[in-house]
Structure 1
Amino acid sequence: MDLKDPKTSEWKRFYKSFKFAWNGIFQTFKSERNFQIHVYISSLMIILGFYLKFTMFDWVVILFLIGGMLALELMNTAIEHVVDLITEDYNPIAKAAKDAAAGAVLVYAILSVIIGVILLLRHI
Protein backbone atom coordinates (compact mmCIF):
# COMPACT_ATOMS: atom_id res chain seq x y z
CA MET A 1 0.00 0.00 0.00
CA ASP A 2 1.31 3.38 -0.93
CA LEU A 3 -1.32 5.45 0.84
CA LYS A 4 1.40 7.16 2.91
CA ASP A 5 3.46 8.19 -0.14
CA PRO A 6 3.65 12.02 0.04
CA LYS A 7 3.88 12.22 -3.79
CA THR A 8 0.42 10.69 -4.15
CA SER A 9 -2.42 13.21 -4.29
CA GLU A 10 -5.13 13.22 -1.62
CA TRP A 11 -7.82 12.17 -4.13
CA LYS A 12 -5.68 9.38 -5.51
CA ARG A 13 -5.12 8.02 -1.98
CA PHE A 14 -8.86 8.32 -1.34
CA TYR A 15 -9.64 6.35 -4.53
CA LYS A 16 -7.02 3.71 -3.71
CA SER A 17 -8.45 3.20 -0.22
CA PHE A 18 -11.76 2.17 -1.81
CA LYS A 19 -9.91 -0.07 -4.25
CA PHE A 20 -8.14 -1.81 -1.35
CA ALA A 21 -11.42 -2.20 0.54
CA TRP A 22 -13.21 -3.77 -2.45
CA ASN A 23 -10.21 -6.02 -2.99
CA GLY A 24 -10.52 -7.20 0.64
CA ILE A 25 -14.21 -7.97 0.14
CA PHE A 26 -13.63 -9.90 -3.10
CA GLN A 27 -10.64 -11.80 -1.69
CA THR A 28 -12.66 -12.77 1.38
CA PHE A 29 -15.54 -13.90 -0.81
CA LYS A 30 -13.20 -16.05 -2.90
CA SER A 31 -11.42 -17.65 0.04
CA GLU A 32 -13.86 -17.84 2.97
CA ARG A 33 -16.72 -20.36 2.85
CA ASN A 34 -18.64 -18.71 5.70
CA PHE A 35 -18.56 -15.32 3.97
CA GLN A 36 -19.91 -16.95 0.82
CA ILE A 37 -22.73 -18.54 2.82
CA HIS A 38 -23.60 -15.15 4.35
CA VAL A 39 -23.66 -13.52 0.91
CA TYR A 40 -25.92 -16.24 -0.52
CA ILE A 41 -28.34 -16.09 2.41
CA SER A 42 -28.35 -12.29 2.20
CA SER A 43 -29.16 -12.50 -1.51
CA LEU A 44 -32.01 -14.90 -0.74
CA MET A 45 -33.39 -12.51 1.89
CA ILE A 46 -33.27 -9.61 -0.58
CA ILE A 47 -35.14 -11.67 -3.18
CA LEU A 48 -37.70 -12.73 -0.57
CA GLY A 49 -38.04 -9.10 0.52
CA PHE A 50 -39.02 -8.04 -2.98
CA TYR A 51 -41.35 -11.01 -3.38
CA LEU A 52 -43.05 -10.41 -0.01
CA LYS A 53 -43.10 -6.62 -0.51
CA PHE A 54 -41.20 -5.66 2.62
CA THR A 55 -42.02 -2.30 4.16
CA MET A 56 -39.43 0.47 4.33
CA PHE A 57 -38.82 -0.39 7.99
CA ASP A 58 -38.30 -4.08 7.10
CA TRP A 59 -35.73 -3.07 4.47
CA VAL A 60 -33.84 -0.88 6.92
CA VAL A 61 -33.68 -3.73 9.44
CA ILE A 62 -32.68 -6.34 6.83
CA LEU A 63 -30.00 -4.10 5.31
CA PHE A 64 -28.54 -3.34 8.76
CA LEU A 65 -28.49 -7.06 9.55
CA ILE A 66 -26.86 -7.94 6.22
CA GLY A 67 -24.31 -5.12 6.42
CA GLY A 68 -23.46 -5.92 10.02
CA MET A 69 -23.10 -9.61 9.32
CA LEU A 70 -20.82 -9.12 6.33
CA ALA A 71 -18.75 -6.48 8.14
CA LEU A 72 -18.36 -8.72 11.19
CA GLU A 73 -17.34 -11.67 9.02
CA LEU A 74 -14.73 -9.46 7.30
CA MET A 75 -13.36 -8.42 10.71
CA ASN A 76 -13.28 -12.04 11.84
CA THR A 77 -11.32 -12.96 8.72
CA ALA A 78 -8.89 -10.09 9.31
CA ILE A 79 -8.33 -11.17 12.92
CA GLU A 80 -7.72 -14.77 11.84
CA HIS A 81 -5.20 -13.66 9.20
CA VAL A 82 -3.31 -11.41 11.62
CA VAL A 83 -3.18 -14.12 14.29
CA ASP A 84 -1.97 -16.65 11.70
CA LEU A 85 0.65 -14.16 10.52
CA ILE A 86 1.96 -13.59 14.05
CA THR A 87 2.19 -17.23 15.12
CA GLU A 88 2.43 -20.46 13.20
CA ASP A 89 2.71 -22.60 16.31
CA TYR A 90 -0.24 -23.46 18.52
CA ASN A 91 -0.77 -20.76 21.07
CA PRO A 92 -3.70 -20.79 23.52
CA ILE A 93 -3.94 -16.98 23.44
CA ALA A 94 -4.04 -16.98 19.64
CA LYS A 95 -6.74 -19.65 19.74
CA ALA A 96 -8.73 -17.63 22.27
CA ALA A 97 -8.56 -14.53 20.02
CA LYS A 98 -9.72 -16.47 16.97
CA ASP A 99 -12.48 -18.23 18.94
CA ALA A 100 -13.73 -14.93 20.39
CA ALA A 101 -13.92 -13.35 16.92
CA ALA A 102 -15.77 -16.40 15.61
CA GLY A 103 -18.07 -16.25 18.63
CA ALA A 104 -18.95 -12.63 17.85
CA VAL A 105 -19.94 -13.67 14.34
CA LEU A 106 -22.03 -16.52 15.71
CA VAL A 107 -23.89 -14.26 18.16
CA TYR A 108 -24.74 -11.79 15.40
CA ALA A 109 -25.70 -14.58 13.00
CA ILE A 110 -28.13 -16.07 15.54
CA LEU A 111 -29.61 -12.62 16.20
CA SER A 112 -29.93 -12.01 12.46
CA VAL A 113 -31.71 -15.32 11.90
CA ILE A 114 -34.17 -14.66 14.73
CA ILE A 115 -34.98 -11.15 13.48
CA GLY A 116 -35.17 -12.40 9.88
CA VAL A 117 -37.63 -15.12 10.82
CA ILE A 118 -39.76 -12.61 12.73
CA LEU A 119 -39.86 -10.33 9.69
CA LEU A 120 -40.66 -13.19 7.33
CA LEU A 121 -43.44 -14.51 9.57
CA ARG A 122 -45.11 -11.09 9.51
CA HIS A 123 -45.41 -11.36 5.71
CA ILE A 124 -46.39 -15.01 5.39
Structure 2
Amino acid sequence: MKSRNIFYSFKYAISGIIYAFRTQRNLKIHFLAAAGVLLVSPFFHFSKVELLLLSFTITLVIVCELFNTAIEIVVDMVAKKYHPLAKIAKDVAAGAVLVSAINALVVAYFLFISRME
Protein backbone atom coordinates (compact mmCIF):
# COMPACT_ATOMS: atom_id res chain seq x y z
CA MET A 1 0.00 0.00 0.00
CA LYS A 2 1.88 3.04 -1.27
CA SER A 3 0.89 6.37 0.21
CA ARG A 4 1.20 9.52 -1.87
CA ASN A 5 0.49 11.90 0.97
CA ILE A 6 2.05 11.99 4.44
CA PHE A 7 -1.37 12.65 5.93
CA TYR A 8 -2.48 9.18 4.80
CA SER A 9 0.40 7.74 6.82
CA PHE A 10 -0.89 9.53 9.91
CA LYS A 11 -4.43 8.38 9.11
CA TYR A 12 -3.32 4.73 8.93
CA ALA A 13 -1.27 5.04 12.11
CA ILE A 14 -4.13 6.62 14.03
CA SER A 15 -6.49 3.98 12.65
CA GLY A 16 -4.18 1.29 14.06
CA ILE A 17 -4.07 2.94 17.47
CA ILE A 18 -7.86 3.26 17.51
CA TYR A 19 -8.27 -0.39 16.50
CA ALA A 20 -5.93 -1.52 19.26
CA PHE A 21 -7.64 0.70 21.82
CA ARG A 22 -11.08 -0.63 20.88
CA THR A 23 -10.06 -4.28 20.92
CA GLN A 24 -7.35 -4.59 23.59
CA ARG A 25 -8.43 -4.41 27.22
CA ASN A 26 -4.85 -4.06 28.47
CA LEU A 27 -4.19 -1.07 26.22
CA LYS A 28 -7.23 0.65 27.76
CA ILE A 29 -5.79 -0.08 31.21
CA HIS A 30 -2.41 1.37 30.19
CA PHE A 31 -4.05 4.51 28.79
CA LEU A 32 -6.10 4.88 31.98
CA ALA A 33 -2.97 4.52 34.12
CA ALA A 34 -1.13 7.02 31.91
CA ALA A 35 -3.99 9.51 32.22
CA GLY A 36 -3.95 9.12 36.00
CA VAL A 37 -0.21 9.71 36.15
CA LEU A 38 -0.47 12.76 33.91
CA LEU A 39 -3.34 14.18 35.97
CA VAL A 40 -1.51 13.95 39.31
CA SER A 41 2.01 14.75 38.12
CA PRO A 42 1.59 18.57 38.25
CA PHE A 43 1.04 18.30 42.02
CA PHE A 44 4.49 16.74 42.45
CA HIS A 45 6.41 19.59 40.78
CA PHE A 46 8.65 17.31 38.75
CA SER A 47 11.72 18.66 37.01
CA LYS A 48 11.89 18.67 33.22
CA VAL A 49 14.10 15.59 33.30
CA GLU A 50 11.64 13.75 35.56
CA LEU A 51 8.74 14.68 33.26
CA LEU A 52 10.75 13.45 30.30
CA LEU A 53 11.38 10.17 32.12
CA LEU A 54 7.65 9.83 32.81
CA SER A 55 6.86 10.57 29.18
CA PHE A 56 9.34 7.98 27.90
CA THR A 57 8.09 5.41 30.39
CA ILE A 58 4.44 5.88 29.44
CA THR A 59 5.31 5.81 25.75
CA LEU A 60 7.36 2.63 26.15
CA VAL A 61 4.47 0.74 27.76
CA ILE A 62 1.98 1.85 25.11
CA VAL A 63 4.36 1.11 22.23
CA CYS A 64 5.06 -2.36 23.63
CA GLU A 65 1.33 -3.02 23.89
CA LEU A 66 0.81 -1.86 20.28
CA PHE A 67 3.62 -4.13 19.05
CA ASN A 68 2.17 -6.98 21.10
CA THR A 69 -1.20 -6.47 19.44
CA ALA A 70 0.34 -6.40 15.97
CA ILE A 71 2.36 -9.56 16.63
CA GLU A 72 -0.68 -11.39 17.99
CA ILE A 73 -2.73 -10.46 14.92
CA VAL A 74 -0.02 -11.56 12.49
CA VAL A 75 0.55 -14.83 14.35
CA ASP A 76 -3.19 -15.54 14.36
CA MET A 77 -3.35 -14.80 10.64
CA VAL A 78 -0.41 -17.07 9.77
CA ALA A 79 -0.92 -19.90 12.25
CA LYS A 80 -4.44 -21.17 11.66
CA LYS A 81 -3.86 -24.07 14.07
CA TYR A 82 -2.00 -24.20 17.36
CA HIS A 83 1.75 -24.20 16.88
CA PRO A 84 4.36 -24.05 19.66
CA LEU A 85 6.34 -21.35 17.82
CA ALA A 86 3.21 -19.21 17.50
CA LYS A 87 2.73 -19.50 21.25
CA ILE A 88 6.35 -18.52 21.86
CA ALA A 89 6.02 -15.45 19.61
CA LYS A 90 2.91 -14.33 21.48
CA ASP A 91 4.45 -15.05 24.88
CA VAL A 92 7.63 -13.12 24.07
CA ALA A 93 5.62 -10.12 22.86
CA ALA A 94 3.53 -10.24 26.04
CA GLY A 95 6.76 -10.51 28.02
CA ALA A 96 7.97 -7.25 26.49
CA VAL A 97 4.80 -5.56 27.71
CA LEU A 98 5.30 -7.03 31.17
CA VAL A 99 8.91 -5.83 31.37
CA SER A 100 7.90 -2.31 30.29
CA ALA A 101 5.03 -2.26 32.80
CA ILE A 102 7.35 -3.36 35.63
CA ASN A 103 9.77 -0.64 34.57
CA ALA A 104 6.88 1.86 34.73
CA LEU A 105 6.08 0.76 38.27
CA VAL A 106 9.72 1.18 39.31
CA VAL A 107 9.88 4.66 37.76
CA ALA A 108 6.58 5.59 39.43
CA TYR A 109 7.89 4.37 42.77
CA PHE A 110 11.04 6.46 42.57
CA LEU A 111 9.30 9.58 41.28
CA PHE A 112 6.04 9.55 43.24
CA ILE A 113 6.53 7.51 46.40
CA SER A 114 9.91 9.02 47.22
CA ARG A 115 8.28 12.50 47.22
CA MET A 116 5.50 11.39 49.57
CA GLU A 117 7.87 10.15 52.29
Q: TM-score interval w.r.t. the shorter chain?
A: over 0.9
Corresponding residue of 2:105: 113
Mapping 1:12-23, distance limit 5 Å: 12=5, 14-23=6-15
Give the Å deviation of 1:87.
1.3
Give the Å deviation of 1:2.
4.4
Which AA in structure 2 matches 1:76? N
113-122 vs 58-67, which deviates more?
Answer: 113-122
Relative contact order higher in (CA < 8 Å, ≥ 6 apart):
2
TM-score by length of 1: 0.89
**1:60-105 deviation line (CA, Å, top 9, x unaligned):** 0000001111111100000000000001211100000000000111
For the pair 1:30 / 2:22, whether they are aligned, the reply is yes
Tell me the distance in 2 between the aligned counterparts of 1:122 and 1:58: 13
Corresponding residue of 2:37: 45
Q: 5+ unaligned residues in a row in structure 2: which ranges?
A: none
Tell me the distance in 2 between the aligned counterparts of 1:108 and 1:40: 16
Number of equivalences: 116
Tell me the distance in 2 between the aligned counterparts of 1:24 and 1:118: 33
SS at match of 2:80: coil
Q: 5+ unaligned residues in a row in structure 1: which ranges?
A: none
Mapping 1:1-124, distance limit 5 Å: 1-3=1-3, 8=4, 12=5, 14-124=6-116
The share of aligned pairs that are identical, in percent, is 36
Give the Å deviation of 1:123.
2.2
**1:11-64 deviation line (CA, Å, top 9, x unaligned):** x2x110111001111111111000000000001111111122222111000000
- Structural RMSD (CA): 1.1
TM-score by length of 2: 0.94
